[in-house]
Amino acid sequence: MAEQNSFLALAAAGISGLAPYEPGKPAAALEREYGLTDVVKLASNENPLGPSPRVSAALAGALHDLERYPDGAAFALRDRLAGHLQVQPGQLTLGNGSNDVLVLLAETFLSPDVSAVYDQYAFVVYRLAVQACGAEARVAPANPASHAQPFGHNLAAMREQVDDSTRMVFIANPNNPTGTWLQQDALREFLSSLPEHVVTVLDEAYLEYARQSDEQNTLDWLAEFPGLVIVRTFSKAYGLAALRIGYGVSSPAIAELLNRVRQPFNVNSLAQRAALAALDDPDWIVQAVAANRSGMQQLEAGFAELGLPSVPSRGNFLLVDMGSADNAAACNAHLLRSGVIVRPVANYGLPAYLRITVGTAQENQRLLAALRLFLEAI
């Protein structure tokens, strides 16, 4: 321990106070700990349908050249993705998951003499990235529990935190872990109010689940707001979480800076092949979104029947109120013993809540049955 402490003293200030990100519990870990089989994982907002069958076929054909480095520029994927999004290839920054792009943004624009703003209940990676760079974190209070968007982003409160020192604002729409969302007119007004020296990171990891047919594509805003960076991922609706691939879309000037910082070969060959195949199967996304909508309705009805309030969500998960921190902890332990993994969110400052991913109809039913047993027991 003494040796570890001596190295801790040598670490940069932001790193020395940093706690590692804790991902959702893997199913294999629960099986080892409890001797279980047939574990249901509803903890990490993964697509229960998995990727398109075209992805599996593409990966099977890509296993012959694993000794080769990937295309560091990801030329084929960049070109295909640019066409899909109707942007220029020079506006894209590919990452090892969207987390990688978030960290690249922080490394590029943040330093100990500037500040960054994010919401009280925003995705924890924002805090980790800001802290690692030594920048000042300015945390805006979220909407109260009584709001129509409970615990969602309060744009007025966020704007109050912005001043001459602010270099970055993080916004998740929808937000994880709350599932709350921002109306486009309010978001656009907020962007219009920001000074030119602020880079706004709009995290749209759950876009495919959230998009409404009458809403404008936020990519159309890039010409109007040069400091806007839109971050998206293939991990959620596309079902490629294991392969880690996401991307940022921005002005070419910002993308050029991010690509200076981006590590060589940060997106592997299999991820590039898989993303290309996924883009070639738009019908799969339609199926995934429809399945999520059906599963969301199943869970909402089930929670209501059990008397468990949940926060309205446009993601593929629900934030469920267990009534108290003790209940949430006890329920999580009960679910684990039952072979169902959900996500406690005490680390987000929401100790009385559990975040539950929408699964298949059978997985959702198993969760609801386990919840009923827990509630009957207490």
Task: List pLDDT tens digits, range 143-192.
Answer: 999 999 999 999 999 999 999 999 999 999 999 999 999 999 999 999 99
Q: Is pLDDT at 17 greater than 80 in this prediction?
A: no
Q: Given this model, what pLDDT does residue 129 score?
A: 96
- Which residues is 302 bridged to in the sheet? none
Q: Given this model, what pLDDT does residue 1 score?
A: 42
Domain with CATH 3.90.1150.10 in the chain: 23-50+283-377
Helix 124-132 with 98-109: angle, nearest 10 deg: 40
Q: What is the amino acid identity at position 40?
A: V
Q: Given this model, what pLDDT does residue 141 score?
A: 98
Q: Given this model, what pLDDT does residue 5 score?
A: 63
Structure tokens at 84: 């899909």
Spatial CB neighbours of 356, under 8 Å, sequence gap ≥ 6: 42, 299, 317, 318, 319, 320, 342, 343, 367
Q: Given this model, what pLDDT does residue 113 score?
A: 96
Nearest to 368 by CA among 317, 311, 301: 301
Whether the CB-CB separation of 317 and 44 falls below 8 Å is answered with no
Return the SS3 of 178: coil
Spatial CB neighbours of 367, under 8 Å, sequence gap ≥ 6: 40, 42, 299, 335, 340, 342, 356, 359
Whether the CB-CB separation of 160 and 140 falls below 8 Å is answered with yes
- Which residues is 40 bridged to in the sheet? 340
In degrees, rounded to 5, the angle at the alpha carbon of residue 199 between the alpha carbons of residues 194 and 200 is 75
Whether the CB-CB separation of 235 and 244 falls below 8 Å is answered with yes
Whether the CB-CB separation of 169 and 200 falls below 8 Å is answered with yes
Query: Residue 2 — very low, low, confident or very high, per pLDDT cuts 50/70/90?
Result: very low
Domain 23-50+283-377 is found in CATH 3.90.1150.10: yes
Quickly tell me which residue has 């994880």 as its tokens: 176
Nearest to 218 by CA among 158, 174, 283: 174
Q: What are 33-82's pLDDT values in tens digits? A: 888 888 999 999 999 999 999 999 999 888 888 899 999 999 999 999 99
Structure tokens at 323: 């009534």
Taking residue 226's Cβ as centre, other Cβ atoms within 10 Å add up to 12
Mean pLDDT of all residues in the chain?
A: 94
Helix 361-377 with 325-337: angle, nearest 10 deg: 120
Nearest to 73 by CA among 255, 217, 326, 230: 255
Give domain 64-279's CATH architecture: 3-Layer(aba) Sandwich (3.40)
Q: Given this model, what pLDDT does residue 323 score?
A: 97
Whether the CB-CB separation of 258 and 273 falls below 8 Å is answered with no
Query: Residue 211 — very low, low, confident or very high, per pLDDT cuts 50/70/90?
Result: confident
